[in-house]
C-alpha cells in the first residue's frame, strides 16, 4: 500500500472538487474538502475529519489526489471501520477546526494584527520568527483559518477562500515590504561597519637582522672557498674520541676535565658538547679522499660562566689542508691571505711558537694591529692595548699521531691546521666590548651591523 493511502482519512468519502481550487487556493484543502461534509454532518468538525488536510500538507498533490480517491473507496467498502481514527494528540494537530476563523471580521483582524507586527520587526531574525508566527507556522492564524475551509459548505467556501487568499496576500506583502527595508538597512550598516580603507598603510613587520657572527663566518668561508677549500661540518654533540682522543689529547689532559668540558648524559656515554671545531678534522680525514682542503665553521661549548670576555657557547672556524708536500710555508701564506681578508689588506702577520696536542710544531697567528700598526705615534691604541699585534688563532702542522689515528700515512702526507674564535675576531673588527652582546639576542645589536643582505 503506497504511503499516500495511509495519509488519507478513510472516513472521507469525498472526490476532489475543482471549484474549491480557486476558492481555497490550496491544493490540500481542495483535494480533501468534501462536497457534502459540513458542520452539520456528524464528525465533520471532529479533529479526525481534517487529518488529511493537515498531514497531506507534506505530500505532493498527486499523492493526495490518490489518497482522497482511495479514501473514498475504503469508505464505501468499510464504512465506519472502528479504530481508523486515532486521537488527535497522536497526530499532532494543533487545534480543532474553527470555521469561524474565516469570518470576514476575524480574517481582517488577523490581517491587521499580523501586518502590524511584521511592520515593526526590529531585525531580520525577528522578522523570520514573525513570519512563522503569523504566516507559515502550523499554528499561525492564517494556517488555522485555511484548514477551516474544508469544513465550510461548498456554497460558502469559494467566497471564504478568496477572503483568506486576500488576507494572506496582504500579510505576505507586509512581510516582503519589511524584508526589503530590513535587508537594505542591514546592507547599509555592513557597508559602513566593514568598510576597508585601502589607502591605509599595511602592517609593517620589523625586519630582523642576520647575526653578525653568521655574516662574519660566511665572509671568512668565502675567502677559503675562493682558495679552493670545501666546507665541512660536524655535530655539536660529539664523542670524546673525535673531540679529544683522536686529536692526541691524552686521558689526563686538563681540557678533558668537567671543569672545562660540558658532558652529556648518560655518564660514560662519551658524549660531550664539542669544545672546538677540531673534531671535524678527524671526521673529514676519515670520510673524504685525500688530498683534503676544508674549512669548518661551527658552534662550540666550554664550561665557562658568561662575563665580558667569556661565553659557554662561541663560534670557531677551523681549517685543514692535508696533501703531499705541505709545509709550514703553505700555512703561513694561507693564513696571511686569511688575516688580511679579516682585518684589511697589507697587514703583516707573524707566527708565535705555541703548543697544541694535535699540531707539531704549533703556533699562534698574530696580525698587525689595523688601528695603530704598532706605530707609537698612533698609540695609545684601544684595539691592541699598544701591543701592535692582534692574536687571531692557533695553528700548526698536523701531528703525525693524528694522521695515523685517521689512517693517513705520515710518510707520504703532511698537512696544516688552524682554528680561530669568531667572537674575538668580530669584537676586534667591530669594536664590540662585551661578548654577551652576541648571545643576548637584542635585535638592535644585530641591526647595527646592517641586515646582512
Write out the residues near ligand PHE by the rule CB under 6 A. 276, 278, 318, 356, 359, 394-396, 417-419
Which C-beta is closer to ligand PHE: that of 27 or that of 248? 248
Q: Residue 373 CB, nearest distance to ligand PHE (Å)?
A: 26
Single out the residue of 301, 392, 318 nearest to residue 359, CA to CA: 318
Which C-beta is closer to ligand PHE: that of 65 or that of 423? 423
Which C-beta is closer to ligand PHE: that of 107 or that of 321? 321
Q: Residue 362 CB, nearest distance to ligand PHE (Å)?
A: 6
Q: Residue 410 CB, nearest distance to ligand PHE (Å)?
A: 16
Q: What is the dihedral of CA 261, 265, 267, 271, to 10 degrees?
A: -60
Determine the residue with CB nearest ligand PHE. Answer: 419
Strand partners, 367: 349, 390
Q: Residue 347 CB, nearest distance to ligand PHE (Å)?
A: 21
Q: Residue 393 CB, nearest distance to ligand PHE (Å)?
A: 6
Which C-beta is closer to ligand PHE: that of 238 or that of 318? 318
Instruction: Give every CB contact of residue 257 below 8 A, 6+ residues apart in sequence.
Output: none
**Within a 10 A sphere around the Cβ of 361, how many other Cβ atoms?**
14
360 is in an annotated binding site: yes
Q: Residue 278 CB, nearest distance to ligand PHE (Å)?
A: 4
Which C-beta is closer to ligand PHE: that of 343 or that of 358? 358
Which C-beta is closer to ligand PHE: that of 312 or that of 452? 312
Contact call for residues 286 and 404 (beta carbons, < 8 A): no
Measured between alpha carbons, how far is 173 from 178 in angstroms, rounded to an integer?
9
Which C-beta is closer to ligand PHE: that of 169 or that of 404? 404
Measured between alpha carbons, how far is 433 from 444 in angstroms, rounded to an integer?
15
Contact call for residues 318 and 276 (beta carbons, < 8 A): yes
Measured between alpha carbons, how far is 207 from 213 in angstroms, rounded to an integer?
18
Q: Residue 418 CB, nearest distance to ligand PHE (Å)?
A: 5
**DSSP single-letter state for residue 49:** G
Instruction: Give every CB contact of residue 77 below 8 A, 6+ residues apart in sequence.
Output: none
Q: Residue 421 CB, nearest distance to ligand PHE (Å)?
A: 8
Measured between alpha carbons, how far is 99 from 39 in angstroms, rounded to an integer?
8
Which C-beta is closer to ligand PHE: that of 118 or that of 417? 417
Ramachandran assignment for 374, one of left (phi > 0), alpha (psi -120 to 50 degrees), beta (any other): left
Contact call for residues 149 and 25 (beta carbons, < 8 A): no
Cα 118 to Cα 52, 127, 170, 236, distances in angstroms: 31, 6, 11, 76
Phi, psi of 268 (to 5 degrees): 90, -5
Measured between alpha carbons, how far is 73 from 12 in angstroms, rounded to an integer?
9
What residues are designated binding site for Mg(2+)? 360
Binding residues: 360
Amino acid at each position: 500500500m503506497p504511503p499516500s493511502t495511509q495519509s488519507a482519512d478513510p472516513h472521507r468519502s469525498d472526490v476532489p472538487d475543482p471549484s474549491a481550487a480557486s476558492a481555497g487556493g490550496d491544493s490540500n484543502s481542495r483535494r480533501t474538502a468534501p462536497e457534502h461534509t459540513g458542520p452539520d454532518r456528524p464528525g465533520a468538525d471532529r479533529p479526525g475529519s481534517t487529518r488529511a488536510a493537515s498531514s497531506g500538507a507534506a505530500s505532493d498533490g498527486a499523492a493526495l489526489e490518490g489518497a482522497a480517491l482511495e479514501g473514498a473507496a475504503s469508505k464505501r467498502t468499510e464504512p465506519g471501520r472502528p479504530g481508523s481514527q486515532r486521537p488527535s494528540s497522536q497526530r499532532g494537530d494543533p487545534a480543532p477546526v474553527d470555521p469561524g476563523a474565516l469570518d470576514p471580521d476575524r480574517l481582517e483582524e488577523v490581517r491587521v494584527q499580523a501586518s502590524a507586527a511584521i511592520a515593526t520587526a526590529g531585525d531580520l531574525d525577528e522578522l523570520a520568527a514573525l513570519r512563522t508566527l503569523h504566516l507559515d507556522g502550523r499554528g499561525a492564524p492564517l494556517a488555522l483559518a485555511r484548514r477551516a475551509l474544508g469544513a465550510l459548505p461548498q456554497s460558502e467556501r469559494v467566497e471564504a477562500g478568496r477572503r483568506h487568499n486576500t488576507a494572506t496576500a496582504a500579510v505576505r506583502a507586509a512581510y516582503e515590504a519589511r524584508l526589503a527595508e530590513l535587508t537594505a538597512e542591514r546592507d547599509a550598516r555592513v557597508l559602513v561597519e566593514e568598510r576597508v580603507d585601502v589607502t591605509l598603510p599595511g602592517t609593517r613587520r620589523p625586519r630582523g637582522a642576520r647575526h653578525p657572527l653568521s655574516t662574519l663566518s660566511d665572509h671568512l668561508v668565502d675567502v677559503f672557498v675562493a682558495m679552493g677549500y670545501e666546507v665541512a661540518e660536524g655535530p655539536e654533540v660529539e664523542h670524546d674520541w673525535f673531540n679529544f682522543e683522536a686529536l692526541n689529547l691524552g686521558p689526563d689532559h686538563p681540557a678533558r676535565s668537567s671543569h672545562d668540558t660540558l658532558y652529556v648524559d648518560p655518564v660514560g656515554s662519551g658524549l660531550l658538547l664539542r669544545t672546538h671545531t677540531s673534531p671535524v678534522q678527524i671526521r673529514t680525514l676519515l670520510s673524504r679522499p685525500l688530498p683534503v682542503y676544508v674549512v669548518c665553521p661551527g658552534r662550540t661549548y666550554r664550561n665557562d660562566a658568561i662575563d665580558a670576555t667569556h661565553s659557554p657557547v662561541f663560534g670557531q672556524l677551523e681549517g685543514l689542508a692535508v696533501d703531499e708536500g705541505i709545509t709550514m710555508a703553505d700555512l703561513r701564506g694561507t693564513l696571511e691571505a686569511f688575516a688580511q681578508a679579516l682585518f684589511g689588506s697589507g697587514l703583516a702577520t707573524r707566527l708565535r711558537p705555541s703548543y697544541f696536542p694535535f699540531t707539531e710544531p704549533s703556533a699562534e697567528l698574530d696580525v698587525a694591529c689595523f688601528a695603530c700598526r704598532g706605530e707609537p705615534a698612533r698609540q695609545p691604541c684601544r684595539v691592541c692595548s699598544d701591543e701592535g699585534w692582534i692574536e687571531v688563532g692557533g695553528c700548526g702542522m698536523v701531528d703525525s699521531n693524528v694522521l695515523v689515528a685517521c689512517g693517513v700515512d705520515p710518510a707520504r702526507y703532511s698537512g696544516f691546521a688552524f682554528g680561530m674564535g669568531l667572537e674575538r675576531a668580530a669584537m676586534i673588527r667591530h669594536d664590540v666590548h662585551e661578548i654577551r652582546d652576541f648571545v643576548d639576542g637584542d635585535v638592535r645589536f644585530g641591526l647595527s651591523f646592517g641586515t646582512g643582505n
